[in-house]
Amino acid sequence: MTDGPLIVQSDKTVLLEVDHPGADEARIAIAPFAELERAPEHVHTYRISPLALWNARAAGHDPEQVVDALVNHSRYPVPQPLLVDIVETMGRFGRLELNHDPAHGLVLSSRDRAVLEEVLRSKKIKPMLGARVDDDTVVVHASERGRLKQALVKIGWPAEDLAGYVDGEAHPIALNEDGWHLRDYQRQAVTSFWAGGSGVVVLPCGAGKTLVGTAAMAEAQATTLILVTNTVSARQWKRELVERTSLTAEEIGEYSGEKKEIRPVTIATYQVITRKSKGEYKHLELFDSRDWGLIVYDEVHLLPAPVFRMTADLQSRRRLGLTATLVREDGRESDVFSLIGPKRYDAPWKDIESQGWIAPADCVEVRVTLTDDERMNYATSEAEERYKVCSTARTKAPVVRAILDQHPGEPALVIGAYLEQLHELGKALDAPIVEGSTNNKDREALYESFRRGEIDRLVVSKVANFSIDLPEASVAVQVSGTFGSRQEEAQRLGRLLRPKNERKQAHFYSVVSRDTIDTDYAAHRQRFLSEQGYAYRIVDSDDLLGPAIADST
């Protein structure tokens, strides 16, 4: 028994004492195989799930490493049944393999004949399989490669996909490392991805996920389809590719609501891909429009369901998912694992910060007391309307103004989810607003003015949650969000994490209404970032801002 920071329990929960001197080392050790569930002040709760263990196994971690991490950092003896279960669960990954057989094509084989027999008797899986080749091998219908992997995960026997990939149509792509070089962790991410052939790279916002995708394209030397969240993101990708590689602007096509260009490198938005016409997803044909050698899924945690379905048919193509978090609010992490691929590389946010590649951040939750009228309005509202009522309370406006007054001249974003609230704030702060209806030309012009320092405040809706490159921003104030979305919280903080001059600190504020569901959702949103090592301070608006609030109300 050692004085470690972990308490490992037989129900597969792991408690981490945050204030222990060995907490950071232990957090890094368990991150590959344990998922954060709760993150209050002193003790964080993790859970060891089968999917997390299979992700760890696919990333090259063996059961002995997992067991050693728990035993070496645990305060008390680790329950022996739990250790046995970890070894056996990780041993399930790869007991079944998908391979390419020269005579029979795609086959499913097993090193454990009983497992194969069990699988063959599954009513959902049997239609995906063809003739029996021998006692340990069965033919798989080529079109079912993705759906078979999904189904096998669901019954607890994840297959290792060793069937290989087509090279696709060759196209020369070289990195132009003039004045810049891939960072060590970016190079490691590309190497880990390429060794597996498909999968997900997890890096914090601001850590250069786009460069990882670019370097993967240079490895592939093939036509590439890049899927992104919106048109602004598509154009940022294009600018990066033209600047960082041998590709010319003419070789890169945009496939969005405004343009329909298909070129050797094509950047498409999720919105246009999933747009229906007469009940059909006609733009999904883009996946078959060329012999793609690589498909890049930016912000893979947002992948829409129709793209999952199409991806199931693309298992012979190399697939790279890029994200800051594998958390999906719809719970479809297993589909990312099955169809895009397992996690190949994951760098803790605080590690990247300590190396100076992302800015340190101070996270503050500012609690506001509603007026008597606002509290009564909240209390008498229908349940489904209460979050909007409390998160858009007008009492928040002077708090936002006073927070910004504490950071004069610093580039600041005010972020929210409700347009009426954002318009009121824009008017009160004399700041321009970027929302969904802002056309792309005006949107890009405002972003560019912000980058050049011509304006130092922007009020932004959810359109700025993802893939917006505003490295100058050092302050963000969020006033409302998508209920308790953890991924949204991570993305919003990510707007601030681009490295600043002279290691300048970023400031991330959440303005929250006290005694309402706003505080519950705020706690839920903060879970992911707490796991990454970001501690939130909770302050009262009056204590933090003092006379500034009293004078403005």
For the chain (553 residues), the mean pLDDT of every run of 10, in chain order, is: 88 93 90 79 87 90 95 96 96 94 95 93 93 95 93 94 94 91 93 92 86 96 93 89 96 91 94 81 84 93 81 90 78 86 82 78 90 95 92 94 92 91 94 88 88 90 67 85 66 69 77 92 75 77 61 41
Residue 262, token pair as written in the block: 């298909």
Name the fold adopted by 184-347.
Rossmann fold (3.40.50)
**d(C-alpha 161, C-alpha 151), whole Å:** 14
Residue 350, token pair as written in the block: 């605080």
C-alpha separations of 325 from 17, 58, 184, 365, 530 in Å:
23, 18, 20, 21, 13
We find that the CATH architecture of domain 353-552 is 3-Layer(aba) Sandwich (3.40)
Specify the amino acid at residue 285.
E
- How many other β-carbons are positioned within 10 Å of the β-carbon of residue 123? 6
> What per-residue confidence (pLDDT) applies to 116?
95
> What per-residue confidence (pLDDT) applies to 227?
93
pTM value?
A: 0.76
CB 470 within 8 A of CB 393: no
Phi, psi (degrees; rounded to nearest 5) at 36? -70, 135
Residue 338, token pair as written in the block: 């099955």
> What per-residue confidence (pLDDT) applies to 117?
94
Domain ranges for the chain, please list them.
Answer: 6-92, 96-161, 184-347, 353-552
Residue tagged 């080529």 (tokens): 142
Strands 13-17 and 6-8: antiparallel
**d(C-alpha 116, C-alpha 111), whole Å:** 9
Q: Is 202 helix (H, G, I), strand (E, B) or coil?
A: strand
Angle at 397 (CA atoms; ends 391, 398), nearest 5 degrees: 135
Decide whether 184-347 matches 353-552 in CATH topology. Answer: yes
Of 123, 134, 96, 131, whose CA–CA distance to 112 is shortest?
96
